[in-house]
Amino acid sequence: MSLATIPLIGLKADNFRHPLDLEATNTIKQLPGIDLLVRQLLGPLGEQFFYMENIASSVLVGENQLPHLYKILLDACQTVDLEPPQLYVRQHPVPNAYTFAMRGKQPFIVVHTSLIELLSLEEIQAVLGHELGHLKCEHGVYLTLGNLIVLAAGQISTWGGIIAQSIQNQILEWVRCAEFTCDRAALLATQNPKVVASVLMKLAGGSPSISAQLNVDAFLAQARAYKEFSNTELGEVLRQLQTAQLTHPLPVLRAREIDRWSSSQKYQDILQNLTRSDYNSQSKGGWRNW
């Protein structure tokens, strides 16, 4: 399967940012004490700790280390018009990938070995595109804060239990909204909605032994059926109960949303307007500084 995509020269975060992401970001910035919480949990010592812990326990991908993964990272970066971060592979039985963007430091992406075993190369490129979406939209600080709050639930007492719970709920809501934006980045990186849907399908119910037997069209039909049910009054209540403490939206909702956006005029406009030849002169060697 070809990994070739058309570079989107001059792509901006606002070209593809999901409206729920924009709304949730504006809300979280207004939370009282959020800046203090960020400084406490993501200060210089915390930044150094996370970087050292990762570099000591993972494999750095490069020209001489897993070069096939390095190539699709560079391809995805070129497609979404972003300079490449570091990429690490980490031994872990739970399929996952995440991004850490330290203030003023080199951002990096970590991909678990079990995720690599589960996905095709094109699907891995979609995952990298998703993580690059976090960097493109400058999600890093709040994204890391969300992960830390999940790990430290019940231990944050600065503002008291009720306020801490309120902050946690709003940050988790922001993280879920940000994921919709980054799924769009995954689509832009691959320019194939079925590849993105396939990643979500495999994360929902895949394994290396049955991946080849899974049917993306059937999963999308399942996603549409769930969406129709969740649009009812009872379905909306149940959906909120399902997702309240999750860091990601439900896979079927994400698949339905990316299926819908891939058919939108906005997506078509991005492909048409940012791949015109008159944009090529804006790019220096395929990269742009932001």
Which pLDDT does position 280 carry in this prediction? Answer: 43
Positions in the chain short of pLDDT 50: 1-2, 151, 153-163, 277-290
Which phi and psi angles does 110 have, rounded to 5°? Answer: -120, 130
Which pLDDT does position 28 carry in this prediction? Answer: 76
Query: Could you give the angle at the alpha carbon of 228 between the alpha carbons of 226 and 231, nearest 5°?
Result: 105
For the record, the structure tokens of 132 come out as: 């690059």
Which pLDDT does position 236 carry in this prediction? Answer: 60
Determine the length of the chain. Answer: 290
Residues 184, 196: Cα–Cα separation, whole Å: 9
Hey, which residues are catalytic here? 131
Strands 97-100 and 86-90, sheet pairing: unpaired
Which pLDDT does position 139 carry in this prediction? Answer: 83
Residues 228, 225: Cα–Cα separation, whole Å: 5
Q: What is the pTM of this model?
A: 0.83
Query: Could you give the angle at the alpha carbon of 148 between the alpha carbons of 143 and 149, nearest 5°?
Result: 100
Q: Which residue has the tokens 């019940």?
A: 154
